[in-house]
Amino acid sequence: MTGAPDDRTLTETGLAPGRNGRILLIACGALAREILDLRAANGWTHLDLTCLPAKLHLYPEKITAAVEETVEKHRADYDGIFVVYADCGTGGLLAEKCRALGVEMVAGPHCYAFFEGNDRFAEHAETEIAAFYLTDFLVRQFDAFVWKPMGLDRHPELRDMLFGNYEKLVYQAQTEDPALDAKARDCALRLGLAYERRFTGYGDLKGALARL
């Protein structure tokens, strides 16, 4: 994965983490940059981060087992573990597993909801059934996570079949970045969708981490 940790544990010292009040965040690699930015901006030096590959989202049935394996691997080294995944297509299995393991996780159906704020997202979810969402990460990795996996690089004629029922692309911006805005507009153009930019910042993610 480009630009984000992958199966690595990050500490302030680079040494093996000790307990002493430390909390491990087990996160989707697609959230690595945002988590590291929040940690640095708020001085949350007690939080360590290990990321699972972002491409697990292409295979949501594998997420729960990967999280469980990582919890068991690191449990003895930390006073707490927090899972920075929402449901993410696991059909409630991840939440059920986290309860069984005795660890907390981010609330919400997916990152689009908690970036915007779960309550706010739910308010307009029914009126945006025809919206396709991108975050900062997905704009940067549009080709790797959308265009190529869907075969649009090889068969552009699939676009109307895959996206014909969508009306607009909503870019949920975590940062103020004109270059990303321009790229997101291009993504909408390539998909044949109307474009809307919606600045969300970090949404509920910041509050969830602040509680730790």
List the beta bridge partners of residue 132: 169
Domain residue extents for the chain: 9-106, 115-199
**Does domain 9-106 match CATH 3.30.160?**
no
Would you say 193 and 167 are in contact if contact means Cβ atoms under 8 Å apart?
A: yes
- Which pTM was predicted? 0.87
The enclosing H or E element of 190 equals helix 178-191
| Range with lowest mean pLDDT among 33-37, 89-93, 125-129, 192-196 | 125-129
Report the DSSP pairing between strands 47-52 and 80-84.
unpaired
Helix (DSSP H) and strand (DSSP E) numbers for the chain: 10, 8
**Which candidate, 82, 77, 81, 83, places its Cα nearest to that of 17?**
77
Tokens of 174: 């975590």
Instruction: State how far the Cα of 162 lies from the Cα of 198, in Å rounded to an integer.
Output: 23
pLDDT category of residue 53 using cuts at 50, 70 and 90? very high
pLDDT of residue 18: 52
Residue indicated by tokens 């029922």:
165
Tokens of 82: 């927090």
State pLDDT tens for residues 98-109: 999 999 999 999
- Tell me what the mean pLDDT of segment 170-187 comes to: 98
Q: Within 10 A of 124 (CB to CB), how many other CB atoms are there?
A: 10
**Which candidate, 205, 144, 148, places its Cα nearest to that of 172?**
205
Report the DSSP pairing between strands 47-52 and 131-135.
unpaired
Q: What percent of the chain has pLDDT over 90?
A: 87
pLDDT at 141 over 70: yes
pLDDT of residue 20: 78
